[in-house]
């Protein structure tokens, strides 16, 4: 390989700066640094699950998407209209088959605001089966409260199953939890019924999700 020597001459132009100009430049630089620092802090995403943290699929690895600011383009089943866009981040997961998952986390303004959001999410999921049946006459739906988990400010796991005639049934698990002012919800789903859901493994997933929220 040959190295080319650049024989061009660089011309240097000297600029005389007065003390006032120097002071103004330094002040502007300091303000810019503070703004950038504040923006970076505000934009910091919570900790998210990895594919290996989800219930293992018997025939496929999990493929995690990017951690993305904002809500998913399409609201996950049972979660429409309850999650705020402000302070939200999400990550989607997929497999080679019909099983998928998504985690959405929200940095709320305070612990009280986070607790309120957690309650709203739990109520939304608990009412999902009945709401779905009203919107889908002739369908079938059921739900299950799988109980609370002892992790940080707490977590709760639910299951929802729904189907319409001449269609495959779908089963969904939800893990909702909070660490301080940060709330997360993990939604897992695939074709099947509630008895097919990997509840024990999903409880571990939910605990891991909450534990990771504010870890650096």
Q: Which of 198, 126, 115, 116 is nearest to 152 (CA)?
A: 115
Confidence of residue 18 (pLDDT cuts 50, 70, 90): very low
| Cβ neighbours of 202 (radius 10 Å) | 21
Cβ atoms 167, 139 nearer than 8 A:
no
Main-chain dihedrals φ then ψ at residue 104, nearest 5 degrees = -125, 130
175-197 residue pLDDT tens: 999 999 999 999 999 999 999 99
d(CA 138, CA 211): 41
d(CA 19, CA 154): 58
134-181 residue pLDDT tens: 999 899 999 999 999 999 999 999 999 999 988 889 999 999 999 999
d(CA 142, CA 156): 17
Confidence of residue 55 (pLDDT cuts 50, 70, 90): very high
Q: Which of 147, 203, 214, 206 is nearest to 180 (CA)?
A: 214
133 burial (CB, 10 Å; 0-12 / 13-18 / 19+) is: middle
d(CA 28, CA 26): 5
């Amino acid at each position: 390989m040959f190295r080319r020597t650049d024989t061009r001459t660089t011309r240097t132009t000297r600029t005389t700066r007065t003390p006032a100009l120097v002071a103004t430049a330094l002040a502007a630089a300091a303000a810019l640094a503070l703004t950038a620092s504040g923006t970076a802090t505000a934009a910091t995403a919570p900790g998210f699950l990895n594919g290996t943290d989800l219930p293992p699929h018997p025939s496929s690895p999990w493929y995690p998407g990017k951690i993305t600011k904002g809500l998913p383009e399409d609201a996950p089943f049972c979660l429409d209209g309850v999650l705020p866009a402000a302070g939200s981040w999400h990550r989607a997961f997929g497999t080679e088959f019909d099983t998928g998952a998504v985690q959405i986390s929200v940095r709320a303004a305070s612990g009280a605001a986070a607790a309120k959001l957690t309650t709203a999410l739990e109520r939304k999921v608990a009412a999902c089966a009945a709401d779905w049946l009203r919107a889908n006459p002739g369908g079938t739906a059921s739900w299950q409260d799988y109980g609370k988990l002892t992790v940080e400010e707490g977590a709760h796991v639910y299951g929802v199953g729904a189907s319409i005639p001449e269609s495959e049934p779908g089963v969904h698990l939800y893990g909702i939890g909070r660490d301080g002012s940060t709330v997360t919800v993990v939604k897992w789903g695939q074709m099947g019924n509630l008895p097919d859901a990997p509840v024990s493994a999903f409880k571990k997933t939910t605990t891991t999700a909450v534990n990771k929220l504010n870890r650096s």
